[in-house]
């Protein structure tokens, strides 16, 4: 599927801007299994700044259907091809659930060389939960829909989300995303010194 990657528009976009949007990346029939993997996984509350920001982080096991998907060779090939790096085969994986009032403000991640963010559930458009990026060129907001994915360099690009609020048709908004974070192999020529 991802052969001749360098010629794909998504890869060209990633190489130029360090992010690329993949609409309808996950098949609708897989979404409910992945979502239930997240909702049944062990979780911990993450709080930043005295409850100004909080969300729930879920540990995803490699044996679950979502874990197997994020560890699959097609995801690995996509990340390798887009980054142009020799990546370690196993990504770090996890998921996060945001509910009413929850968000994550703009930040850069501390590690990783390329990250795939997959949206498994999205609130309606009036309920917030947009993915935000601040690049050198502009501020970008993307309302990810369930099944959409975003490849991005999370250590370079400032990113976060808008807060989930009560929408006209959604009094209990929820947003669920999963992450596969890939690391480059150590540069062997540097290691030898
Ligand atoms: O859930 C999101 O959209 C943001 C996740 C995030 O900040 C990250 O993967 O570093």
Report the predicted TM-score, pTM, of the whole model to 2 decimal places: 0.91
Residues 6+ apart with CB under 8 A from 46: 54, 55, 56, 57, 96
User: Which is the closest atom of ligand 1 to the Cα of 175?
Assistant: 1
pLDDT at residue 192, as a whole number: 40
Q: How far is the CA of 117 from the centre of ligand 1 (A)?
A: 7
Q: Is 162 in the pocket of ligand 1 (CB under 6 A)?
A: no
Distance CA 26, CA 40 (A): 20
pLDDT in tens, 10-51: 999 999 999 999 999 999 999 999 999 999 999 999 888 766
Residue, of 83 and 190, whose pLDDT is higher? 83
Q: Is 104 in the pocket of ligand 1 (CB under 6 A)?
A: yes
User: Which is the closest atom of ligand 1 to the Cα of 144?
Assistant: 3
pLDDT at residue 190, as a whole number: 45
Please list the residues that pair with 59 across neighbouring strands. Answer: 94
pLDDT at residue 193, as a whole number: 38
Of 49-63, 66-80, 165-179, which range is least confident? Answer: 49-63
Question: Could you tell me which CATH class the domain 5-183 is placed in?
Answer: mainly beta
pLDDT in tens, 101-145: 999 999 999 999 999 999 999 999 899 999 999 988 899 999 999
Q: Is 177 in the pocket of ligand 1 (CB under 6 A)?
A: yes
Q: In what order do the strands lie in the sheet with 131-134?
A: 139-142, 131-134, 158-161
Q: Is 180 in the pocket of ligand 1 (CB under 6 A)?
A: no
Q: How far is the CA of 48 from the centre of ligand 1 (A)?
A: 14
């Amino acid at each position: 599927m991802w052969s001749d990657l360098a010629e794909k528009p998504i890869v060209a976009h990633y190489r130029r801007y360090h992010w690329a949007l993949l609409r309808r990346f996950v098949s609708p029939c897989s979404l409910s299994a992945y979502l239930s993997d997240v909702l049944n996984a062990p979780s911990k509350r993450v709080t930043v700044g005295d409850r100004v920001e909080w969300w729930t982080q879920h540990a995803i096991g490699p044996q679950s259907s979502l874990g197997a998907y994020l560890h699959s060779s097609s995801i690995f090939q996509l990340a390798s091809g887009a980054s142009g790096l020799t990546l370690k085969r196993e990504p770090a994986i996890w998921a996060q659930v945001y509910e009413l009032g929850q968000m994550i403000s703009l930040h850069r991640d501390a590690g990783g060389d390329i990250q795939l963010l997959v949206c498994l559930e999205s609130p309606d458009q009036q309920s917030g939960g947009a993915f935000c990026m601040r690049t050198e060129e502009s501020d970008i907001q993307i309302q990810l829909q369930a099944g959409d994915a975003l490849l991005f360099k999370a250590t370079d690009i400032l990113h976060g989300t808008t807060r989930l609020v009560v929408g006209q048709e959604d009094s209990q908004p929820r947003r669920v995303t999963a992450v596969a974070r890939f690391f480059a192999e150590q540069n062997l020529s540097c290691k030898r010194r």
